Amino acid sequence: MLMMMLGAVQLGAAAACVVVLVPMGMAGWHLSRNKMLFFSGALFISLAICVHLTPYFPSVPDFVTSVSSAVVFDHRSSCINLVNEISWEVKPNASFHHFNNTQNSSSIADFYDKRWDWSDSYKLKACEFTKLSKSDASDLLNGSWVVIAGDSQARLFTLSLLNLILGPQSQRMDSVRADLFKRHSDYSVLVNETGMKLDFIWAPYVMNLTNLVMNFKTQKNCPDVMIMGAGLWHMLHFTNASDYDLHLHILKTQVVSLLPFSTELAMNEPVTGSVPIKSSHLFWLGMPVMINGMLNTEEKRAKMNDAMWHAYDKALGDSKLLRQTGGPLFLLDFQSLTWNCGPHCTSDGMHYDGAIYEAAVQIMLNTLLIESHQTL
């Protein structure tokens, strides 16, 4: 029995080597290059295999299962559950004492410096989470198609990702800022140096996200990385958590049917490290904490109250859309990010400081690193 298990593991490991080494060799890459490149190669290959081969080889999921079971021993696989654990240091800056109440009080948040890092625990240290630099992030996303869809939170996330990839001081970033914030519009950019294509799609309601996913399905063309989220618009304009719940269920059904490995997902159990990675990398932008007294209209303060926030949050949990509840999307936990950063990190109780979105981008990139490593 033990021999058989060992045999299976060896076979799996051998298969893993074949998967890793053959395409790396073909592409002219060398394992001696830095770790990041290795990961990016692995990511690229896993995406290529999943996206291009799966429809033609129905047996690929079995194969991938055997491969992934060989790498469960990678300690980083459990790290995926810890990647959202960020701690903050929020302090008044040196000019803070010049601030006084005659000034626009919503700008007080600007007078606080925000620093963040992964929490300082033994378990997290072992995970070696790291803030990716511009070139690391570019390597990782080289040649990828990234789609970000949702409301203003998604827009701010997009800004933060491009800020990292293009560099905050770059001329191109100025035009990105101008174009991206045209009200209620889509935005598309090709980062020609790395061949990364990024689409921002304005999708304020879950139904818009569902339509988008259905379009990918009919076009048989799916982004490598997709980040989406919606909820605040629905809360303000419909204020009906059971309707939100209904639409999340429909979205979940569509997303699952888009994934080649969807049948592998255990619907009622939390996903553990041993479950094969799905083809595309899918993320959900969670709802930020809302600070009711700071919301800028009476309507918002009335409708977007704590009780409604919790009802919407419960709907999200009940829909089992998230990986954390057995679904297909990995949560970027804006609730914990914004809660831990606190009231000095927002000027309107709803949209947060750039540091929040910067942290969310790094959480996503670190998740991609772990996932791409784990797949092969």
Ligand X SMILES: *[C@@H]1O[C@H](CO)[C@@H](O)[C@H](O)[C@H]1NC(C)=O
CA distance 339 to 356: 10
CA distance 115 to 342: 12
* 89 part of the interface to ligand X, by CB under 6 A: no
Q: Which stretch binds ligand X (CB under 6 A): 107-115, 270-278, 286-294, 318-326?
A: 107-115
48 or 82: CB nearest ligand X: 48
Considering only 118-126, 138-146, 302-310, 357-365, which stretch makes contact with ligand X by CB under 6 A? 138-146
**Is residue 174 within 8 Å of residue 199, measured between CB atoms?**
no
Angle at 354 between CA 353 and CA 356, to 5 degrees: 75
Here the tokens at position 141 are 């996303």
Helix axes 354-375, 60-70, angle to 10 degrees: 100
User: 2, 5, 59, 102: which one contacts ligand X (CB under 6 A)?
Assistant: 102
One of 54, 81, 87, 142 touching ligand X (CB under 6 A)? 142
Are 109 and 345 in contact by the 8 Å Cβ rule? The answer is yes
94 binds ligand X (CB under 6 A): yes
Measured from the CB atom, is 72 or 246 closer to ligand X?
A: 246
Burial of 291 (0-12, 13-18, 19+ CB in 10 A): middle
193 is an interface residue for ligand X by CB under 6 A = yes
Residues in CB range of 97: below 8 A, 6 or more apart = none
29 contributes a contact to ligand X by CB under 6 A: no
Query: Between 77 and 372, whose beta carbon lies closer to ligand X?
Result: 372
Contact between 326 and 266 (Cβ < 8 Å): yes
Strands ordered across the beta sheet of 225-229:
187-191, 196-202, 145-150, 225-229, 281-285, 330-332
Residue 242 is a binding residue for ligand X (CB under 6 A) = yes
Specify the DSSP element, H or E, that contains 234.
Answer: helix 232-237
Judged by CB under 6 A, the number of residues near ligand X is 26
Within residues 203-222, the interface with ligand X by CB under 6 A covers 205, 207-208
Residue among 266, 226, 234, 224 nearest 375 (CA): 224
What 3-state DSSP class applies to 288? Answer: coil
13 binds ligand X (CB under 6 A): no
110 vs 117 by CB, closer to ligand X: 110
Q: Return the residue of 48, 173, 246, 294 that touches ligand X, per CB under 6 A.
A: 246
> Residue 331: which of 300, 353, 364 has the closest Cα?
364
Q: Looking at 9-17, 73-81, 236-244, 255-263, which segment touches ligand X (CB under 6 A)?
A: 236-244
Beta carbon of residue 309, minimum distance to ligand X (angstroms, whole number): 17
Identify the residue among 106, 130, 133, 274 touching ligand X (CB under 6 A): 106
* Residues in contact with ligand X, shown as a per-residue x/- string from 153 to 192 under the rule CB under 6 A: ---------------------------------------x
Using CA atoms, how far residue 285 sits from 122, 329, 338, in Å, is 27, 9, 12
Which residue in 103, 133, 215, 297 binds ligand X (CB under 6 A)? 103
Using rule CB under 6 A, residue 306 touches ligand X: no
Binding site for ligand X (CB under 6 A): 93-95, 100, 102-104, 106-107, 110-111, 138-139, 142-143, 192-194, 202, 205, 207-208, 240, 242-243, 246
